[in-house]
Amino acid sequence: MVRRAQPERTCVGCRQRAPASELLRIVAIGDEAGYSLRPDPRRRLPGRGANMHPDPACFALAVRRRAFGRALRITEVLDHGVLAEHVDAPTTTSGQPDRARVASRVGRPT
């Protein structure tokens, strides 16, 4: 029996590698108002994608680090409201995610 290797991706929030099936794919959809981030759980939307754990702490880290723009190669301001609703995170972040949750994800003590 042949075992297939699962593709791995890096979370733009916590920077940890994980199987692609555990990460949420994010794409930027452009219109006349600018770009908005959309979740792509079925991994079917066209265009360049970024991957993130479906976790509010990873979302907050990615927003604070401005990682979505770099990963998607977009220099404009991105609207992340729809993505925040999908991840159940607030649309405005203070830049201070839950440290215990992030530390457990990254493997550091709090």
What are the structural domain ranges in the chain? 8-88
Predicted pLDDT at 90 = 54
At the second CATH level, the architecture of 8-88 is: 2-Layer Sandwich (3.30)
Q: Give 32's pLDDT tier (boundaries 50, 70, 90).
A: confident
- For the chain, the distance separating the N- and C-terminal CA atoms, rounded to the nearest angstrom, is 43
Give the up-direction half-sphere exposure of residue 97: CA atoms within 13 A in the CB hemisphere: 23
Average pLDDT over residues 45-70: 94
Q: Which residues contact 18 (CB under 8 A, 6 or more apart)?
A: 8, 9, 10, 11, 53
Q: What is the pTM of this model?
A: 0.75
Please give the Cα distance from 109 to 62 (Å, whole number).
Answer: 20
Q: Is the pLDDT confidence value at 106 over 70?
A: no
pLDDT mean across residues, the chain: 84
